[in-house]
């Protein structure tokens, strides 16, 4: 039951994009087509899980024993960037089909704040390792959901009459705001 | 404190760099240098006519897959096919050049307007409003989505219908994928008979809206000695390969038997003729009559 609540909380109530405003760059950049949105979302799920796992271990076995918790942010950035590079090389060699579908998105995620955000949030909430990874899955799934919803709406924009001054990024930002507002309706359901 | 931070970050960075350096050696993927050469030989239009995402994807496929023919690039034509064949050491094979063709003559058929459309000037948008403003819902809508999609500038709108310049058309198929009514199709340039209607409706429904529409009488299907005419999705489809293989001994009996003049015989030279003589896809009645005689 707790796992279920964790998922509902991370996907809807505290959606990483729409309620915590992390990862807005790929949210607006990769949401022009549903296919691209799905690829990006899948890549984020994959990287978030890996990054959370690694940063958790680094935090528990390096930073805390040596009393260096104040280096958290910079160390996490370093670890995530190196990890994404490694994963990209690994996939290219070992799992070419997965590399083909995720490959072009991986370099974009290197410095994605949603990934770093999840890694830091699980530390702040003091989850254990299993809960952290589950939270990472759920938060990244929430990212995927937001991205696909946005892509669906933006595909409709293509055939909608929009005032010239609002076309493109402006209407995208307005839409992002409205979607965020809609997700605010979940607030208070679960902490 | 400063020492500890610097040492930690330095060592973490050093370890990461070391791991990545080793990984880049261990996990190095060898890429065939020929891929780059072939990519440069291709036109670089990334039109997708070959069925791949772009020129580079096709180049990789043609190098890596021994069964992939070197003549898939329709935009480049025989010259590029020969060059790719030479680079990959494959037999060039003969590619049958194709051309985009419009299956609609709504002007000739005097298709009326159901309503006046004032929306966005795009076929896809017009199609969403009651299947478009034309009385026939399978007609060429004439808003030119295909014209805008054409990477080779080979199409234009004239008299509410799209026209194709056979000279410029490279049969990449972009327009075929764009058309919301599936009016456009790729046919061999030397196709003997073309179908000029894409309606999926039956007799009366077609007669009511168009004077030149296919009423699905099936006369052509029954009469074709090579049995290369059939219906797919309620539309007449000619198997051009079988038709060309059978040759002219049938004397185009299908054209003769069609009561609605849907099947027409175009002089193969006309399809590849210069665009000034334009009616490549839109023959005059007299021309058709001559061929039938």
Give the pLDDT confidence score for residue B93 in this predicted structure. 59
- State whether B23 and A66 contact (CB < 8 Å): no
Nearest to A82 among B5, B20, B120 (CB): B20
For residue A26 the two structure tokens come to 């790929």
Share of chain B above pLDDT 90, in %: 6
Task: Find, in chain A, the residue whose alpha carbon is nearest to that of B22.
Answer: A86
Tell me which chain A residues have a C-beta less than 8 angstroms from the C-beta of B19: 82, 86
Q: Which 8-state DSSP code applies to residue A23? A: S
CA distances in angstroms from B229 to A125, A139, B232, listed in the order given: 69, 56, 10
Distance from CA of A85 to the nearest CA of B (A): 8
Nearest to A75 among B12, B17, B29 (CB): B12
The pLDDT of B199-217, averaged and rounded, is 86
Query: How would CATH label the architecture of B33-88?
Result: Orthogonal Bundle (1.10)
Q: Is the pLDDT of residue B276 over 60?
A: no
Residue pair A31/A154 in contact by the 8 Å Cβ criterion: yes
Query: Of B86, B57, B56, nearest to B70 (Cα)?
Result: B86
Tell me which chain A residues have a C-beta less than 8 angstroms from the C-beta of B9: 71, 74-75, 78
The DSSP annotation for A27-82 comes to HHHS-SSHHHHHHHHHHHHHHHHHHHHHHHHHIIIIITTTT-GGGHHHHHHHHHHH
Tell me which chain B residues have a C-beta less than 8 angstroms from the C-beta of A91: none
Distance from CA of B125 to the nearest CA of A (A): 6
Task: Find, in chain B, the residue whose alpha carbon is nearest to that of A62.
Answer: B8
Give which of B2, B3, B11, B12 to mutate to test A binding, by max A Cβ within 10 Å: B12
Residues of chain A predicted below pLDDT 50: none
Q: Is the pLDDT of residue B88 over 70?
A: yes
Q: Is the pLDDT of residue B272 over 90?
A: no
The three-state (H, E, C) secondary structure of chain B, written as one string: CHHHHHHHHHHHHHHHHHHHHHHHHHCCCCCCHHHHHHHHHCCCCCCCCCCCCCHHHHHHHHHHCCCCCCCCCCCCHHHHHHHHHHHHCCCCCCCCCEEEEECCCCCCCCCCECCCCCCCCCHHHHHHCCCCCECCCCCCCCCCHHHHHCCCCCEEEECCEEEECCCCCCCCCHHHHHCCCCCEEEEECCCCEEECCCCCCCHHHHHHHCCCCCCCCCHHHHHCCCCCEEEECCEEEECHHHHHHHCHHHCCHHHHHCCCCCEEECCHHHHCCCHHHCHHHCCCHHHHHHHHC
Q: Is the pLDDT of residue B96 over 90?
A: no
Residue pair B288/B193 in contact by the 8 Å Cβ criterion: no
Tell me which chain A residues have a C-beta less than 8 angstroms from the C-beta of B5: 68, 71
- State whether B12 and A94 contact (CB < 8 Å): no
Q: Is the pLDDT of residue B193 over 90?
A: no
Distance from CA of B170 to the nearest CA of A (A): 27
Give the pLDDT confidence score for residue A150 in this predicted structure. 93
Tell me yes or no: is domain B98-292 CATH 3.30.70.20. Answer: yes
Q: Is the pLDDT of residue B269 over 70?
A: no
Window from A75-79, A93-97, B114-118, B191-195 with minimum mean pLDDT: A93-97
Domain ranges of chain A: 8-181
Residue pair B12/A78 in contact by the 8 Å Cβ criterion: yes
Give the pLDDT confidence score for residue B281 in this predicted structure. 46
pLDDT band at B252 (very low <50, low <70, confident <90, very high): confident
Tell me which chain B residues have a C-beta less than 8 angstroms from the C-beta of A66: 4, 8
Give the pLDDT confidence score for residue A191 in this predicted structure. 65
Give the pLDDT confidence score for residue B1 in this predicted structure. 77
Q: Is the pLDDT of residue B95 over 70?
A: no
Size of interface A-B (CB pairs under 8 A): 47
- State whether B12 and A79 contact (CB < 8 Å): yes
Distance from CA of A124 to the nearest CA of B (A): 21
- State whether A74 and B9 contact (CB < 8 Å): yes
The pLDDT of B115-127, averaged and rounded, is 88
Q: Is the pLDDT of residue B285 over 50?
A: no
What is the rounded CA–CA span in Å between residue A84 and residue A46?
10
pLDDT band at B187 (very low <50, low <70, confident <90, very high): confident
Domain ranges of chain B: 33-88, 98-292
């Amino acid at each position: 039951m707790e796992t279920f609540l964790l998922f509902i909380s991370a996907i809807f109530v505290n959606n990483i994009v729409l309620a915590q405003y992390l990862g807005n760059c790929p949210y607006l950049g990769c949401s022009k087509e549903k296919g691209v949105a799905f690829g990006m979302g899948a890549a984020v799920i994959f990287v978030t899980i890996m990054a959370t796992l690694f940063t958790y271990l680094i935090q528990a076995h390096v930073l805390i024993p040596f009393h260096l918790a104040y280096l958290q942010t910079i160390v996490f950035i370093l670890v995530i960037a190196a990890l994404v590079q490694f994963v990209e090389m690994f996939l290219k060699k070992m799992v070419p089909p997965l590399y083909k579908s995720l490959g072009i998105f991986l370099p974009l995620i290197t410095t994605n704040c949603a990934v770093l955000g999840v890694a830091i949030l699980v530390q702040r909430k003091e989850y254990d390792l299993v809960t952290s990874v589950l939270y990472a899955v759920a938060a990244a799934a929430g990212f995927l959901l937001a991205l696909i919803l946005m892509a669906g709406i933006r595909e409709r924009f293509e055939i909608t009459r929009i005032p010239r001054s609002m076309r493109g990024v402006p209407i995208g930002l307005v839409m992002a705001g409205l979607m965020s507002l809609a997700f605010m309706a979940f607030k208070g359901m679960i902490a | 404190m400063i020492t500890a931070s610097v040492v930690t970050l330095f060592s973490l960075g050093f370890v990461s760099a070391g791991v990545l350096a080793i990984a880049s050696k261990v996990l190095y993927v060898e890429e065939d240098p020929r891929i780059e050469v072939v990519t440069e030989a291709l036109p670089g239009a990334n039109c997708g006519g070959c069925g791949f995402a772009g020129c580079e994807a096709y180049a990789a496929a043609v190098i890596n897959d021994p069964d992939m023919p070197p003549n898939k690039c329709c935009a480049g034509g025989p010259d590029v096919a020969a060059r790719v064949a030479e680079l990959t050491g494959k037999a060039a094979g003969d590619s049958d050049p194709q051309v985009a063709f419009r299956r609609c003559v709504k002007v000739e058929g005097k298709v009326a307007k159901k309503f006046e459309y004032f929306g966005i000037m795009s076929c896809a948008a017009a199609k969403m409003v009651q299947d478009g403003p034309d009385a026939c819902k399978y007609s060429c809508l004439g808003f030119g989505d295909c014209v805008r999609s054409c990477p080779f500038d080979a199409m234009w709108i004239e008299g509410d219908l799209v026209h194709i310049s056979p000279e410029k058309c490279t049969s990449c198929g972009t327009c075929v994928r764009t058309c919301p009514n599936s009016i456009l199709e790729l046919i061999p340039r030397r196709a003997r008979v073309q179908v000029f209607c894409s309606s999926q409706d039956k007799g009366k429904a077609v007669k009511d809206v168009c004077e030149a529409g296919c009423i699905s009488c099936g006369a052509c299907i029954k009469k074709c000695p090579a049995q290369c005419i059939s219906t797919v999705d309620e539309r007449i489809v000619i198997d051009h390969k079988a038709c060309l293989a059978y040759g002219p001994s049938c004397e185009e009996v299908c054209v003769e038997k069609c009561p609605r003049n849907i099947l027409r015989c175009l002089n193969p030279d006309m399809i590849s003729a210069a665009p000034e003589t334009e009616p490549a896809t839109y023959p005059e009645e007299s021309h058709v009559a001559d061929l039938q005689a």
